[in-house]
């Protein structure tokens, strides 16, 4: 296959413009190193580590598993226990990480701190307004996160066909596409829409190296694009979850509660409880994030096989489109 050359592959020195986005309780060294070894960019999730010192250990563990670049995700969103973001960022700087995926609210101070240490920032956002603010903060790349995404979808519900073209019209910073992608046809599509790469979460959850229970991977393979639901809109922290009993119970309380107190559903949506799903494989035990892209996912490949396949599919797709143009050209 032909090597890719985009703003993302050039800046990071990676072979294929595919990023494994931050995923709570999934983004451990096993997955990040496998994605980086396959030629993409693997990402460790900072808050999955209970303390900044644990993140330091995880970064060092990941370095024993790959010599390729990998990044760290720092997500700034409401949490049941507020993390010390600054301390996590300091560890990232001390451990010489070259790229950080930031996401969430008021990222200014963290971005400033990381940028002053020379770190490349890939900032995830679900609206053009946030993309423009992040551009003003000097981020290097944006990750444009459509309504198709898993987890925190934002409050505006704009799918990627609109959002990516809006990004191309409104921002100068190079951007990647996030939310709804699982194959090389998707990669070819987003390159056409103006992106310089593609982010995948759910697709990478469902790989051999993904350090979660096999039952969860099988649930993804068996699920369709109808199997997600949105909760937490009432608190402007909308989250797209796998549609199971706990998620539907939380949604019912959210809709029907006269008080609207977050505490009434905290025990249902808690991350600690969701983590048990990944550890024990009972997909109904707690809430967990997944995207409607589940409908496209039919297997559990290694990251190497997946990334190679995406590369081949993208190339074939681009060639096919070129063929569609040839008859027109030959008439000239
Ligand atoms: P948690 O147990 O702290 O919270 C569970 C869910 O409730 C999360 O979606 C959280 O955003 C939300 N929440 C908590 N307090 C809230 C409040 N007062 N109002 C509205 N919503 C509230 O979550 P966790 O699984 O332990 O994750 C810790 C942090 O990491 C959270 O901020 C979470 O959103 C974030 N996160 C990160 C990633 C990532 O890829 N890095 C993915 C998902 C979530």
Looking up tokens 């066909």 gives 161
pLDDT tens per residue, range 135-181:
999 999 999 999 999 999 999 999 999 999 999 999 999 999 999 99
In angstroms, the Cα distances linking 242 to 51, 185, 228, 267, 289 are 27, 24, 5, 17, 6
Over 70: is that where the pLDDT of 327 sits?
no
> Which is the closest atom of ligand 1 to the Cα of 103?
41
Beta carbon of 24 within 6 Å of any ligand 1 atom: yes
Residue closest to 151 by CA, chosen among 214, 229, 266: 229
Torsion angles phi and psi, residue 120, rounded to 5? -75, 130
The band of 325, judged by pLDDT with boundaries at 50, 70 and 90, is confident
CB under 8 Å to 223, separation ≥6 — which residues?
A: 242, 290, 294, 295, 297
* CB-ligand 1 contact for 210 (6 Å cutoff): no
| Residue 24 token pair | 């709570």
Please give the number of the atom of ligand 1 that sits closest to the Cα of 275: 25
* ipTM score over 0.90, yes or no: yes
User: Does the Cβ of 271 fall within 6 Å of ligand 1?
Assistant: yes
* Cβ proximity of 90 and 62 under 8 Å: no
Average pLDDT of the residues in 72-88: 95
Residue 173 CA to ligand 1 center (angstroms) comes to 28
Q: What is d(CA 70, CA 42) in angstroms, rounded to the nearest whole number?
A: 5
Decide: 78 in ligand 1 pocket, CB within 6 A. yes
Q: What is the pLDDT of residues 190-241, one digit of tens each?
A: 999 999 999 999 999 999 999 999 999 999 999 999 999 999 999 999 999 9
Residues 6+ apart with CB under 8 A from 77: 103, 104, 105, 152, 237
pLDDT at 248 over 80: yes
User: Would the pLDDT of 300 be above 90?
Assistant: yes
Task: Give the atom of ligand 1 at the shortest distance from the alpha carbon of 46.
Answer: 41
Ligand 1 pocket residue status of 317, Cβ below 6 Å: no
**Are 46 and 55 in contact, with CB atoms under 8 Å apart?**
yes
Q: Give the Cα separation of 124 and 142 in Å (integer).
A: 6
Report, in angstroms and rounded to the nearest whole number, the Rg of the chain calculated over CA atoms.
Answer: 19
- Distance between CA 237 and CA 153 in Å, rounded? 8
Buried residues in 177-194 as b, exposed as e (16+ CB within 10 A)? bbbbbbbbbbbbbbbebb
Could you tell which of 22, 71, 76, 79 is best to mutate to test the pocket of ligand 1, judged by most ligand atoms within 8 Å of the CB?
79
Determine the distance separating the centroid of ligand 1 and the alpha carbon of 183, expressed in angstroms. 28
pLDDT of residue 331: 54
Share of the chain above pLDDT 70, in %: 97
Ligand 1 atom with the smallest distance to the CA of 81 is 3
Q: Tokens 């609109």, residue?
A: 162
SS3 323: helix
Tokens encoding 147:
């309504």
Residue 117's Cβ-side half-sphere holds a number of Cα atoms within 13 Å equal to 19
Domains and CATH numbers, the chain: 7-213+297-331 (3.20.20.70), 228-289 (no CATH)
- What per-residue confidence (pLDDT) applies to 3? 83
Helix and strand numbers (H, E) in the chain are 14, 11
Across 257-268, average pLDDT: 96
Residues whose CB is less than 8 angstroms from the CB of residue 53 and which lie 6 or more positions away in sequence, other chains included: 91
Residue 99 pLDDT level (bands cut at 50, 70, 90): very high
């Amino acid at each position: 296959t032909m090597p890719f050359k985009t703003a993302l592959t050039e800046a990071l020195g990676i072979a294929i413009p595919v990023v494994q986005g931050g995923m709570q309780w999934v983004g451990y060294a096993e997955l990040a190193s496998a994605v980086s070894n396959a030629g993409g960019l693997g990402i460790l999730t900072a808050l999955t580590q209970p303390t900044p010192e644990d993140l330091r250990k995880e970064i060092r563990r990941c370095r024993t598993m790959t010599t390729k670049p990998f990044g760290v995700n720092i997500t700034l969103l409401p949490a049941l226990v507020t993390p010390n973001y600054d301390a996590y960022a300091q560890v990232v700087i001390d451990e010489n990480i070259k790229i950080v995926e930031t996401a969430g609210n008021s990222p200014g101070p963290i971005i400033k701190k990381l940028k002053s240490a020379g770190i490349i920032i890939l900032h995830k956002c679900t609206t053009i307004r946030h993309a423009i603010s992040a551009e003003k903060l000097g981020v290097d790349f944006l990750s444009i996160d459509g309504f198709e995404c898993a987890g925190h979808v934002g409050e505006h519900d704009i799918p990627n066909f609109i959002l990516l073209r809006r990004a191309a019209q409104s921002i100068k910073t190079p951007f990647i596409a996030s939310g709804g992608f699982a194959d090389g046809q998707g990669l070819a599509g987003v390159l056409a829409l103006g992106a310089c790469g593609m982010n995948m979460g759910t697709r990478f959850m469902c790989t051999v190296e993904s350090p979660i229970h096999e039952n969860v991977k099988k649930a993804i393979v068996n699920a369709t694009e109808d199997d997600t639901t949105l909760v937490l809109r009432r608190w402007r922290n909308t989250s797209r979850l796998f549609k199971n009993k706990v998620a539907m119970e939380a949604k019912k309380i959210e809709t029907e509660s006269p008080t609207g107190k977050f505490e009434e559903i905290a025990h249902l949506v808690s991350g600690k409880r969701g983590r048990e799903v990944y550890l024990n494989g009972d997909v109904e035990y707690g809430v967990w994030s997944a995207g409607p892209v589940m409908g496209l996912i039919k297997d559990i490949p290694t990251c190497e096989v997946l990334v190679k396949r995406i590369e081949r599919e993208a190339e074939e797709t681009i060639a096919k489109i070129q063929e569609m143009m040839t008859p027109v050209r030959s008439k000239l």
